[in-house]
Every structure is written in C-alpha cells, then in structure tokens.
Amino acid sequence: MTERELQTPCYVIHKDRLAEGIGLLKTSLEREWNHFCVGYSFKTNSLPYVVEEMKKAGFYAEVVSEDEYDLALKHGYEKIIYNGPVKGKRTFLHALEHGAIINLDAKRELAWLRESGRRDVTVGLRVNFNLEALCPGETSAGEEGSRFGFSYETGELKWAMDELDKMGIPLSGLHLHVGSKTRSVAIYRQLAGMACRLKREYDLKLTYIDLGGGYFGGMENRPKFPDYVKAIREELSEEFTPEETMLVMEPGTSLITPPIEYLTTVVDTKQTYANHLVVTDGSRIDVDPLHGKSSYFHKLLYQGTEEEMEARQVIPKQVVCGFTCMENDRLFVIEDQKKLQEGDRISFQKVGGYTICLTPLFIRYFPAVYVEENGEYRIIREAWTAQEYSQKSLY
Ligand SMILES: *Cc1c(COP(=O)(O)O)cnc(C)c1O
C-alpha cells in the first residue's frame, strides 16, 4: 500500500523512528548505568501493535490499572511494573505471586500484602514530596502538591516503611515519578537527589530506584535520553552503584509520541463573512483529546501538478477544522499560504502519546492505524464501525 492509498483519517506509525527512540534509550542506559530496566508506560499508548513492539524491545509493561495489567498478560509480558493509586486486588495478588515490581501507592495495598502472607516479593513505595519547592513552577501539580505516593514530609512514607518492616518484607525500591510541565533535566537531578537523601536518612538497602517517566524524546532543541541518563547517573552515584541498584525508567511519550503521524484529507472549503474555513475528515479530538494544545507539528500536502500549484492563490488566513459538530473543533490557522482545496491532505506529526488511547468515541468511531516500514504501509488496526461500537451492549 502507498501513502496515497491510506484511508483517512488515520494514524501512521513510522517504525524506523520508533526503533530510533528505543535504541537511543538503551544505549544511553548501557553507557551510564548498565543495570537497568525500562517499563513502557501503557497508559500513554497501549495500542496492541505498540505493546507488542515494546515487548520485543525487551521492556517491561508499566501498568496502572487492572485492565492494563490484563492487557499486559494478554500480550505475554512476563515482566510487569504495577503502579498507580487504584490497583485491583486480583491483579495485585497475581503480581505478588509472579514476581512483578509493585510500587505501593495506597494503604489497602499494605493490607493485601499482609493478607497474602508472602515475603519473597519485590515492592517499592511511591514517594510524595515537595518537588515544587526544588523546581519552582515546573511540576504539574504546582503549589497543590502531587496526589500520588506516601508523603515524606508528613511521615506517611516512614509509616509505610515501618509497616513493611513489621511484616518482615524488605523495601526493594523507591518510585519517584512526578509529572512536570517542563520535562527538564533538573527534575530528574532532584528526583535522583531525593532517592539519595532517603537512602541516607532511613539507611535503606535498595535493589532499585524507579524515576518514572515524563521525558522528552525526538524533539529538536529539547533534552534527549543521553542528557537525562547522564544527569541521573551523576546524582545517583552519590549513594548508589549499578552493581547494587537497578535504575528503572518508565518512558511513555518520549518513545511513542515522535513516531506517530495523523493524516487527514480536506473535504470542503467555505468562505464565511468571518473566515476562510478548511474542513477536514480529521478532528482535534484525535490529536488533542484534552484540548490543551495550541500548535501542532504539521505539513500541508497539496495534491496537483506543478502547473496547478502555480495557479493556486496565496491567501492570508485559512482555518483548519475537523469533522465533529463542535464549534471548537478548529485545529490551527494557516497564514499566507496557498489555498487548500478538496483532496489535499494535512498531516500532523508527533502525536503518538495521549491520543490514540484518549480519543473518545464521539460522532465517529476509532480511526484506522497503519505502520510504515521502508516506505511500505500496512494496516494494523482497522477503523471501528457501528459493529465494534455496539459490541457488548444489550438492547
Ligand atoms: C504517566 C506515567 C508514566 C509515563 O509518562 P510519560 O510522560 O508518558 O513519559 C510513567 N510512570 C507513571 C507512574 C505514570 O503515571
């Protein structure tokens, strides 16, 4: 299949770019801290194809719900990192029994652990601390503080450590994932620094330090995996060695955002009293489901011969719109470019994270997904129809 034959709207996964990110992460870790494990963040994009590719890369599944846990098992993952504030008891016990890394994030999980009677388990504690004070303006939660983990400042973290101690269960690791707006290297320096501080303060013997996800990847003028991992090694080396302690990273968006594109076709243009509108068969809900983006990496793919292109007029403003019946389904404004017309295409790049798995079933069902490898395209998810939409419904 060629690019022109793709049914739009659709997503396209560029396999070489996916491999590039995976390769860069692995070589960075091998160079700086050659005792590591990577848990791919399922929530960022758990399309079955993606999940399979991450397994082939040797990554663990990083899951945060019972459904994601089951999905990881369905895909044959033997290595799972179980995170999140609301795990399920059934899968929690399964994880205990099957040697998963479990980062505890709720008091009831300590109760389940006690009930299970198991001691030979790999559990860590998710740490809640005031990172905002160390990186002002950078954390997602800001002044309100994160809602995840056991609090260092209030003593709940120490309490949880003591509970494990009473059960005779060693604390294997610390989990320090904190969402940030900036994805800066400084964040990871502070997280690694906090791990060192906790080790000193509580005299811990840890088999792993999990710094979570939240990195940039594949973006110009932004930090890349080698920058993060080098900074992490510099800080962690204060208290830890690769011989004793494994470094865990849980990337999502840094791996899966860059290789995925969203392709749409222009279906109409309209001139109103206020605007020149370009209506596409795509939608903002597929590239910005949380309606938080203000710009997109995009390409205008004009169709036509050189002569036809010569004849196209440049106009000052074109507003690109989507297929939904929402007024705010406007994607971006094109300034001083040739007029788009029916049949032209618009491609949105670097849209693989927090899109495919956040897209609602609104007005139109899930679009098709293709993978591109050496210029060849093949379908890896057919578009959903009314058939898939109504599955499992009783009426
Ligand atoms: C969301 C999440 C990640 C991945 O975050 P990205 O920004 O997609 O890299 C990793 N770990 C945990 C615990 C998360 O909640």
pLDDT in tens, the chain (395 residues): 999 899 999 999 999 999 999 999 999 999 999 999 999 999 999 999 999 999 999 999 999 999 999 999 999 999 999 999 999 999 999 999 999 999 999 999 999 999 999 999 999 999 999 999 999 999 999 999 999 999 999 999 999 999 999 999 999 999 999 999 999 999 999 999 999 999 999 999 999 999 999 999 999 999 999 999 999 999 999 999 999 999 999 999 999 999 999 999 999 999 999 999 999 999 999 999 999 998 999 999 999 999 999 999 999 999 999 999 999 999 999 999 999 999 999 999 999 999 999 999 999 999 999 999 999 999 999 999 999 999 999 99
Positions of E strands within 88-141: 101-104, 122-128
| Cα–ligand 1 centroid distance for 168 (angstroms) | 30
Residue 123 domain flag? yes
Residue 244 domain flag? yes
Let me know whether 264 and 252 are in one domain. Answer: no
Name the nearest CA neighbour of 121 among 149, 101, 92. 101
If you take atom 10 of ligand 1, which residue's CA is the nearest one? 213
Residue 394 domain flag? no
Given a contact cutoff of 8 angstroms between Cβ atoms, the answer to whether 213 and 103 are in contact is no
Name the nearest CA neighbour of 98 among 68, 65, 72. 72
| Cα–ligand 1 centroid distance for 319 (angstroms) | 33
If you take atom 14 of ligand 1, which residue's CA is the nearest one? 213
Cβ count within 10 A of residue 182? 15
The CA distance from 120 to 104, in Å, is: 15
Let me know whether 244 and 272 are in one domain. Answer: no
Residue 327 buriedness (CB in 10 A; 0-12 / 13-18 / 19+): exposed
Given a contact cutoff of 8 angstroms between Cβ atoms, the answer to whether 9 and 324 are in contact is no
Closest-lying ligand 1 atom to the alpha carbon of residue 126: 13
Q: Which domain holds residue 374?
A: 3-11+258-389
Closest-lying ligand 1 atom to the alpha carbon of residue 175: 13
Closest-lying ligand 1 atom to the alpha carbon of residue 84: 13
Residue 143 buriedness (CB in 10 A; 0-12 / 13-18 / 19+): exposed
Mutate to test the pocket of ligand 1, among 224, 250, 254 (most ligand atoms within 8 A of CB): 250
Q: In 3-state terms, what secondary structure has residue 9?
A: coil
- pLDDT confidence of residue 241: 98
pTM for the whole thing? 0.97
Closest-lying ligand 1 atom to the alpha carbon of residue 103: 13
| Cα–ligand 1 centroid distance for 87 (angstroms) | 16
If you take atom 2 of ligand 1, which residue's CA is the nearest one? 213
For the domain that residue 25 is a member of, what is the CATH number? 3.20.20.10
- Listed residues 218, 238, 256: the one ending a domain: 256
- In the chain, the amino acid numbered 158 is K
If you take atom 3 of ligand 1, which residue's CA is the nearest one? 213
- pLDDT confidence of residue 294: 85
Residue 126 domain flag? yes
Let me know whether 331 and 199 are in one domain. Answer: no
Task: Classify strands 368-373 and 376-381 as parallel, antiparallel or unpaired.
Answer: antiparallel
For tokens 């036809």, the residue is 308
The CA distance from 292 to 39, in Å, is: 27
Residue 52 domain flag? yes
Let me know whether 232 and 87 are in one domain. Answer: yes
Let me know whether 286 and 378 are in one domain. Answer: yes
Let me know whether 242 and 168 are in one domain. Answer: yes
- Listed residues 207, 231, 256: the one ending a domain: 256
Mutate to test the pocket of ligand 1, among 38, 44, 45 (most ligand atoms within 8 A of CB): 44
Residue 197 domain flag? yes
| Cα–ligand 1 centroid distance for 214 (angstroms) | 6
Residue 193 domain flag? yes
If you take atom 7 of ligand 1, which residue's CA is the nearest one? 214
Q: Tell me: the pLDDT tens digits for 178-202? A: 999 999 999 999 999 999 999 999 9
| Cα–ligand 1 centroid distance for 213 (angstroms) | 4
| Cα–ligand 1 centroid distance for 27 (angstroms) | 21
DSSP state of 44: G
Residue 395 domain flag? no
Let me know whether 166 and 245 are in one domain. Answer: yes
Cβ count within 10 A of residue 361? 11
The CA distance from 231 to 212, in Å, is: 15
For the domain that residue 370 is a member of, what is the CATH number? 2.40.37.10
The CA distance from 166 to 143, in Å, is: 34
Let me know whether 276 and 242 are in one domain. Answer: no
For tokens 């209506």, the residue is 279
The CA distance from 221 to 232, in Å, is: 20
The CA distance from 229 to 37, in Å, is: 13
| Cα–ligand 1 centroid distance for 193 (angstroms) | 20
Let me know whether 194 and 288 are in one domain. Answer: no
List ligand 1's pocket residues with C-beta within 6 A: 41, 43-44, 62, 64, 83, 177, 212-215, 250-254, 353
The CA distance from 134 to 145, in Å, is: 12
What are the φ/ψ torsions at residue 41 (nearest 5 degrees)?
A: -70, 105
Structure tokens at 133: 């004070």
Let me know whether 200 and 237 are in one domain. Answer: yes
As a whole number of Å, the end-to-end CA separation of the chain is: 39
| Cα–ligand 1 centroid distance for 186 (angstroms) | 17
Let me know whether 272 and 246 are in one domain. Answer: no
- Into how many domains does the chain fold? 2
- Listed residues 256, 288, 316: the one ending a domain: 256
The CA distance from 161 to 106, in Å, is: 13
Closest-lying ligand 1 atom to the alpha carbon of residue 251: 9
Cβ count within 10 A of residue 317? 11
Given a contact cutoff of 8 angstroms between Cβ atoms, the answer to whether 191 and 127 are in contact is no
| Cα–ligand 1 centroid distance for 211 (angstroms) | 10
| Cα–ligand 1 centroid distance for 62 (angstroms) | 9
What angle, 0 to 180 degrees and rounded to 10, lies between the N-to-C axes of helices 107-116 and 89-97?
A: 50
Let me know whether 122 and 203 are in one domain. Answer: yes
